[in-house]
């Protein structure tokens, strides 16, 4: 059964599946599809081409599918794609993609966007990511699965945050943050491996040990990047996580954040 508050405005092209609830004064217009079981609060704005998966929860005042904040956006029919079981809290914003990027902004399954967080045009937010209150992604940012971005932090356009990484609150991320690491600071530096986060996600002890050794070789040995990668792959290349870390480092375009010192 679909429940729509009588004050809500729903456009003729909106497709609503079973068990969806839409609250008071929400406005949903354009080529929008809302998956079954999704609950939309009061005063929510959804516009343009937007795909929302099943069993999502979108709280009061959120804005999804608004035009991107980009001076070269020329009205192209870009879109927002949101997966299943996504939580979007009060006044969070998600903007559509641009022709300069991939023409879409993607939020995968099980993501949580806390209040006032912002996902800009052409971003990709992978499965299980949590963005705390007022966290902000500039355009074209990619955040790896199960990463955490602390409150009042900002990630620069085109930067990447790797899978299972943790960015502390009040941080400014201008360079890539490798997978499995901890980062924080006004110009974010690395503070070793996100050991607690990896343990909570069920990583095996030997894998965490290998990641820590790889981190020390990459960031604290003084070796050239090429030499460090060769040693890491030779000694620990059997681990998928190590290969993923190495590939992330090798494909960085903005450069990788520096280590701040201390124990990994």
What positions carry a catalytic annotation? 121-122, 139
Residues 6+ away with beta carbon under 8 Å from 161: 141, 142, 143, 144, 147, 149, 155, 167, 173, 176, 177
Contact 57/88 with Cβ under 8 angstroms? yes
């Amino acid at each position: 059964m679909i429940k729509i508050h009588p004050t809500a405005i729903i456009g003729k092209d909106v497709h609503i599946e079973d068990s969806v609830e839409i609250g008071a004064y929400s406005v949903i217009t354009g080529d929008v599809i809302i998956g079954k079981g999704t609950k939309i609060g009061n005063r929510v704005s959804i516009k343009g081409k937007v795909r929302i998966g099943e069993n999502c929860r979108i709280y009061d005042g959120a804005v999804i599918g608004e035009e991107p904040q980009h001076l070269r956006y020329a009205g192209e029919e870009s879109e927002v794609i949101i997966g299943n079981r996504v939580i979007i809290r009060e006044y969070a914003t998600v903007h559509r993609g641009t022709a300069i990027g991939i023409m879409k902004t993607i939020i995968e399954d099980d993501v949580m966007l806390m209040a006032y967080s912002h996902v800009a045009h052409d971003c990709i937010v992978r499965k299980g990511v949590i963005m705390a209150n007022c966290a902000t992604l500039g355009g074209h940012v990619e955040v790896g699965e199960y990463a955490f971005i602390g409150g009042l932090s900002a990630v620069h356009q085109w930067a990447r945050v790797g899978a299972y990484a943790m960015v502390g609150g009040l941080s400014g991320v201008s360079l890539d943050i490798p997978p499995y690491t901890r980062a924080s600071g006004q110009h974010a530096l690395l503070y070793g491996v996100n050991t607690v986060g990896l343990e909570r996600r069920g990583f095996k002890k030997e894998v965490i040990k290998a990641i820590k050794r790889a981190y020390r070789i990459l960031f604290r040995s003084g070796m050239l990047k090429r030499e460090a990668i060769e040693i890491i792959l030779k000694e620990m290349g059997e681990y998928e996580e190590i290969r993923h870390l190495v590939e992330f480092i090798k494909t960085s375009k903005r450069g990788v954040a520096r280590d701040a010192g201390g124990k990994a």
